[in-house]
Amino acid sequence: TPKKAPPMPGDVLVHAVGEKAGQPVTVADLGEELVRAWPMGKDKEGNDVVRDGEPTGILAIYKFPAGEIKAPTRLEGTIDGQIVAYSDRCTHAGCNVGEGKAPSGKGIMNCPCHSGQYEPREGCKVIGGPPPAPLPQLPIKLEGDKLVATSFFVSRPFGYATDEDWVKYT
Ligand code: FES
């Protein structure tokens, strides 16, 4: 069903939590702290459907100062090299990943389950703990004031058992 589908091209990213839950995420909502979102698509009748029935569709969105986002982030999948979206489901065992701090004091992503750490400025590469792979980036673009997915995740997210499981969406 559309509710249980993964993110698809054209989906609008909407807030997952807080008083804006269900409303489109705008640039003004974003910063260096994680904003959690769901993709929102359409059902057959053309009505909006938040895809919150597929746990692997949960997203983490950031806006960093210009120049901070580097490879292996795919810059063409960011908005102006500053706004980037990732799967927010840990590649280790599927927990939602939250905020953390590096010893330098810099904000990073930290998984509450087994202390997996990711660097969202560098393609969410693993910088600590047991995760076997980066959090997959979801390529996005700006349409008006909304963030819109342009493809499926660029690498295999948690919950897709084989590469073929995610390649069929790409
Ligand atoms: Fe995230 Fe284990 S589930 S580190």
How high does pLDDT run on average in the chain? 93
Q: Who has greater pLDDT, 103 or 69?
A: 69
Is 104 a residue whose pLDDT tops 70? yes
Query: 64 CA distance to ligand 1 centroid (A)?
Result: 25
Residue range 148-167: average pLDDT? 83
pLDDT grade, residue 118 (50/70/90)? very high
Whether the CB-CB separation of 22 and 168 falls below 8 Å is answered with: no
* pLDDT tier, 127 (very low <50, low <70, confident <90, very high otherwise): very high
> What is the arithmetic mean of pLDDT over 97-110?
91
CB of 95 shorter than 6 A to ligand 1: yes
Coarse DSSP helix, strand, coil percentages of the chain, rounded to the nearest 5 percent: 10, 30, 60
Q: Is the pLDDT of residue 138 over 80?
A: yes
Centroid of ligand 1 to alpha carbon of 89 (angstroms): 9
In the prediction, which pLDDT does 166 show? Answer: 66
In sequence order, what are the beta bridge partners of 87?
Answer: 59
Query: How many Å lie between the centroid of ligand 1 and the Cα of residue 144?
Result: 36
* ipTM greater than cut 0.95: yes
In this structure, which residue's CA is closest to atom 3 in ligand 1? 93
Ligand 1 centre distance from Cα of residue 90 (Å):
6
Once rounded to an integer, what is the mean pLDDT over residues 19-23? 97
> What band does 6 get if pLDDT is binned at 50, 70 and 90?
confident
Got the DSSP string for 9-74? TTPEEEE-SSTTTTSBP-GGG-SSS-EEEEEEEE-TTS-EEE-TT-GGG-EEEEE--TT---TTS-
pLDDT at 169: 66
Over residues 108-117, the mean pLDDT reads 97
Atom of ligand 1 nearest to the CA of 93: 3
Q: Is 131 in the pocket of ligand 1 (CB under 6 A)?
A: yes
pTM of the complete model:
0.94
Q: Is the CB of 116 under 6 A from ligand 1?
A: yes
More confident residue, 168 or 30: 30
